[in-house]
Amino acid sequence: MLIKYNCLQWAPLAWVARCSINEKAVSVWHGRQVETRDEWFCEAAWPGTFSTGGFDQTDLMAGTGGHCRDNVLTFVAPGNTVDRILSLRTAEGLLVSNSLSCLLAVSGAAIDPTFPRYYEDFTTIIHGLSAYKRTLATSLGDIRITMFGLLTWDGREATERTHEIVRRDFSSFTRYERFLQDNLTALAQNIADPARRQRYRLLATASSGYDSPAISVLARKAGCEEALCIDKDRFGEMENGDRVAAHLGLRPIHVAREAWRKLDDAELSFIAADGTAEAVSLASAGANLAGSVLLTGYHGDKVWAKYAKDLSEDVVRGDSSGLSLTEYRLWAGFIHCPITFWGIRQIRDINRLSNSKEMLPWDIPGDYSRPIPRRIVESAGVPREAFGMVKRASAVAFTEFLSPSSLETYRAWLTQNRSEWLKRGKLPPPTNEGYERLASGILAMIESALHKIPLLWRLAPQNSLDRPSRLRRYAFAWAAGAVSRRYLRQIDDRAGLPPDF
């Protein structure tokens, strides 16, 4: 099966593939940073030799791509649930992309602007790989969402499967830490390979929590030199990630949590991913993110928790955080790698280690104890009191995820599209946010108070991001449409696409 490539001036890491029935060639349109070879293409990082393109043979892959073996093309989603690939079956064949907005733009498919539960559907990934909603309805049929898996195309049919479970020895802290460290070091070699069109550098994140400091330690040993440090959490409490970074010899890159509000349309790409903008604080660090593999600790709250409730192989999560980066990173030009997902199908073994006698010296009193990351960080010389003492929340909530200018644009979109609700016999959403502002302000004060009181933070709503108001619940359709038009503008209203697309 021949892969034909066309480079376009759109998001540097975006790609879309057209697979036509019974044709021996697959056409791939891509941004300038996508790696292309005769038998494979990718915007990916993995702990293996880059030139072999073996990203389809590991569950430790970050990013996306496609690989042709034995005349079958396999599209690969990352080994985590903070990113995905998407596909649309048509009468002519199959369209596959790593961007929902790009897929909508190229296919001409439209989503229902009046559907109020897009975010809730995306959030179903918290229920695990066997339970998340895999389809998104469009005017041309359902778009299929593939996470933590692969999609194969043999010329006629598309088949989906999950990444295979690889059993590793996590019987001791030393073995588990070596698994993380050795693979991260190998990944660092992969992203710096001279054969790449685009070489990358590791970029850590540092905070006063558990997960990102632990990953920063591993990253430093693998050659990382910098760490993003957000200045405060969403309740206004100061973070001390820069202190952790300093202990590790990492140069702190200070990120003001509210700086994104001064950027034009900073939220759009985030909202277009999953209907929220929980990670939009990173938008002001775009120049630092470009050309990096961003190492994060998403899902560390479960995989490294002492008292995790679900120890199945289904990758059950507590929230869907991290998913909002999927569209933004393609434009900013970085690969997202939450190494907390490495070995995640063996969460039972990892949890057994967390509760073992071996880890008792790193098990602090209280209900906020994660012995594995604590041991990693303390062993690197960071003082015990410098991290993991108070539960913090840095995600941007629904009550704050639109800047004043974007809110006005969004409200104008709601007004312009009121007829869409009326045509479907629905009541249009309100555009007056006075009541919402009062209600959300009261809720924010209650949550903030609970988060500041030891032990009582668990009484605060654990899924506060899962409560979009009636005003904001349609923001996904608004943003997805806006980002789709951005793709079209980049190719001069599709004039730049080859005629056979």
The CATH number covering residue 249 comes to 3.40.50.620
Give how many domains the chain has, as a whole number: 3
- Per residue in 360-414, pLDDT (tens digit) is 999 998 878 999 999 999 999 999 988 876 666 666 766 677 888 898 999 999 9
Do residue 86 and residue 59 come from a single domain? yes
Tell me what percent of the chain is helix, strand and coil, each rounded to the nearest 5.
35, 20, 45
In a domain, 80, yes or no: yes
Please check the confidence at residue 2 and state whether its pLDDT lies above 80.
yes
- Per residue in 218-230, pLDDT (tens digit) is 999 999 999 999 9
- Per residue in 89-140, pLDDT (tens digit) is 999 999 999 999 999 999 999 999 999 999 999 999 999 999 999 999 999 9
CB 190 within 8 A of CB 46: yes
Do residue 451 and residue 469 come from a single domain? yes
Do residue 85 and residue 233 come from a single domain? no
The answer to which of 104-108, 347-351, 448-452 has the lowest mean pLDDT is 448-452
In a domain, 299, yes or no: yes
Do residue 371 and residue 418 come from a single domain? no
pLDDT at 400: 74
pLDDT at 456: 59
**Which tokens in the block code for residue 471?**
């005003």
Do residue 46 and residue 17 come from a single domain? yes
Do residue 226 and residue 304 come from a single domain? yes
In a domain, 397, yes or no: no
Do residue 129 and residue 218 come from a single domain? no
- 3-class DSSP string for 174-238: HHHHHHHHHHHHHHHHHHCCCCCCCCCEEEEECCCCCHHHHHHHHHHHCCCCEEEEECECCCCCE
Beta bridge partners of 159: 152
pLDDT at 386: 86
Do residue 278 and residue 148 come from a single domain? no
In a domain, 498, yes or no: no
Domain-ending residue, one of 101, 134, 164:
164
Please give the Cα distance from 204 to 292 (Å, whole number): 9
The answer to which of 45-54, 266-275, 371-380, 486-495 has the lowest mean pLDDT is 486-495
Question: Which CATH number do you get for residue 115?
Answer: 3.60.20
Domain-ending residue, one of 116, 134, 164:
164
Do residue 177 and residue 155 come from a single domain? no
Domain-ending residue, one of 141, 164, 187:
164
Do residue 58 and residue 189 come from a single domain? no
Tokens 């312009």 belong to: 416
Please check the confidence at residue 465 and state whether its pLDDT lies above 50.
no
Do residue 365 and residue 419 come from a single domain? no
In a domain, 354, yes or no: yes
pLDDT at 22: 87
Q: How far is CA 141 from the centre of its chain?
A: 25
Please check the confidence at residue 232 and state whether its pLDDT lies above 60.
yes
Domain span at residue 33 reads: 2-164
In a domain, 392, yes or no: no
- Per residue in 157-213, pLDDT (tens digit) is 999 999 999 999 999 999 999 999 999 999 999 999 999 999 999 999 999 889 999
Do residue 69 and residue 212 come from a single domain? no
- Per residue in 56-87, pLDDT (tens digit) is 999 999 999 999 999 999 999 999 999 999 99
Beta bridge partners of 407: none
